[in-house]
Copies of this chain bind each other. A is one copy, B any other.
Amino acid sequence: MDEVLADPIHKFIQLYNRDHQVPLDLVIKPGTEIFQNVPDEVNDKWFDYINEKGFFRDLPVIDGAVEAVKKLQQRYEVYIVSAAMEFRNSLEDKLDWLAEHFPFIDWKHIIFCGEKIVNVDIMIDDRIKNFSGFSGRSLLFTSPHNLLITEYERVDNWQQVLNKLM
C-alpha cells in the first residue's frame, strides 16, 4: 500500500513542516528514507507519526492507482498486501482507506501481514525485502528510497504497470 497505492511521504513532510518547520519542498535524496533527510534532532519523529491513530486514514492516493487497479482486475485476481502488522494503529485506518478509495476490492482480497509470504504470480512493491524468497515476477515500484537499486524490473508509475501487464 504505502508508496505504491498510498502516499505517506507527502503526509510525513506536512507533519514535519507543521511541527519542525522542515520545508514543504523537501527533496528526499535517492536511496535514502525520509527520516534521513530531516534534521537529526527530529529524525525519529517519523515513528511517532506513523504510530498515531489516523496517520494512514487520509493519505493521498498515488496518481493513477485507482484506475490502474480497476483495469488490472479485468485480467487478474488482484490482492492488496500490506505489511501493516508492525503498526497496530494502522489496521483500521488502512482498511477504511481501502474501503473509501478501492471499494471494488473486497475483504477476501485484502491481506495485512508482516512477511509477505503470499502465493501469487506477480508482486508490485517498493521494498525489495518483500521480494525475498518470492519466485514470481517482481515489479519494483519507484520510490525515492529504492532509486539506486538496479537488480529488479522497475515501474515508475501505474501507467507503466499497465503497459507491462495489460
Q: Chain A residues in contact with chain B, CB under 8 A? A: 79, 85-86, 88, 91-92, 95-96, 106-115, 117-120
Q: In the assembly, what is the distance between CA of A111 and CA of B110, in Å? A: 10
**Neighbouring B residues of A115 by C-beta, 8 Å:** 79, 108-109
Q: List 7 A-B contacts (CB under 8 A).
A: A79-B117, A85-B107, A91-B112, A108-B114, A111-B113, A111-B117, A113-B113
Q: Which residue of B lies closest to A134 (CB)?
A: B119
Contact: B85 with A95, CB < 8 Å?
A: yes
Contact: A112 with B109, CB < 8 Å?
A: no
**How many copies of this chain?**
2
Q: How distant is A79 from chain B, measured CB to nearest CB, in Å? A: 7
Q: In the assembly, what is the distance between CA of A50 and CA of B120, in Å? A: 30
**Neighbouring B residues of A96 by C-beta, 8 Å:** 88
Q: In the assembly, what is the distance between CA of A107 and CA of B85, in Å? A: 6
**Further contacts, 8 of them, CB under 8 A, given A88-B92, A110-B114, A111-B113:** A85-B107, A86-B107, A88-B96, A91-B91, A108-B115, A111-B112, A113-B113, A117-B120
* 10 A-B pairs closest in CB distance: A108-B114, A91-B91, A111-B113, A119-B119, A85-B107, A112-B112, A117-B119, A107-B114, A108-B115, A85-B110
Question: Which of B88, B95, B112, B118 interacts with A117 by CB under 8 Å?
Answer: B118
Q: How distant is A41 from chain B, measured CB to nearest CB, in Å? A: 28
